[in-house]
Amino acid sequence: MTVLVTGGAGYIGAHAVLALADAGEDVVVLDDLSTGVADAVPDGVRLVVGDVANAALVTRILAEYGIREIMHFAAKIVVPDSVADPLGYYDANTVKTRALLAVAVAAGVERLVFSSTAAVYGEPDLPLIAEDCAPAPINPYGRSKLMSEWMIRDTAAAHGLDYAVLRYFNVAGADPRGRAGQSSRSATHLIKVAAQAALGARPGLSIFGTDYATPDGTCLRDYVQVSDLADAHVAALRHLRSEGGRLTLNCGYGTGASVREVVDTVRRVSGLDFDVVEAPRRAGDPAALVADATLIREVLAWEPRHADLDTIVAQALAWERRLGNGGERVRAAG
């Protein structure tokens, strides 16, 4: 059975494609390459360049390859950008998901694994966020994804579609074998930015907000390694195939690290120092987002293999060097 992966040339999608291919699955990638990279699609996997909202194109792909399963990653993901351009985010993340669902239903697609986000929770005053926490997103990115979740749920009720919604916390790291990583130079992921700063690809790093109600005043996040996350997608698809039931699951480790802790880890693991400046808070950033990851471990028997911040940082540094971002900076003290 062939799996269609939308956004499969992007950061998380490319790792999911690798996990599917490693598991012996037949995969077709659909990506408009607006942020994805064609070289991220491994040899032997077909890449179709196009828009997920192009109904004629998607209809043709589903028919040509007999596709009954979709992993949907195609989206815009930068929270501050969503605040500045809400309509662009509602279009990319909500309107285009609606278009994909319409074609999928018409073509008889049976299973969908959807890339969602912890941003749907907003800013709950909880040490760990479980799936039954009432969604209350505080930015257009989170709202655009929550709307998509609602559409998927309602479509499933009307048309029998089986689905798994995976709510990511902060994704980081790279394929341990060096086959994929975060390739966009303009990415805003903290660990990538810090790795670039350490290796000289950026002049430094800004800490956005130092007055949050967290132990050191900076934002607290649950960093989940990208290959572990990809494995969760494969496990979710297998769960749906076995008629295990529809799912909405957190993807995180249940432990948080602050921005300052990440900066210190990158300095220590790289042995390099870099400039850090303190800046005002960014619009739409919650103070803390840490998963209650109990359910995904129980339901999918998911056992992360890379749940260690030092390991994640080392992978990110190795990937940046592979991209050519390997300039030496001042050695860190100690």
Question: SS3 letters for the chain?
Answer: CEEEEECCCCHHHHHHHHHHHHCCCEEEEEECCCCCCHHHCCCCCEEEECCCCCHHHHHHHHHHCCCCEEEECCCCCCHHHHHHCHHHHHHHHHHHHHHHHHHHHHHCCCEEEEEEEHHHHCCCCCCCECCCCCCCCCCHHHHHHHHHHHHHHHHHHHHCCEEEEEEECEEECCCCCCCCCCCCCCCCCHHHHHHHHHHCCCCCEEEECCCCCCCCCCCEECEEEHHHHHHHHHHHHHHHHCCCCCEEEEECCCCCEEHHHHHHHHHHHHCECCCEEEECCCCCCCCEECECCHHHHHHHCCCCCCCCHHHHHHHHHHHHHHCCCCCCCCECCC
Active-site option among 141, 168, 212, 253:
141
Residue 163 known to be catalytic: no
Instruction: Name the residues annotated as catalytic.
Output: 141
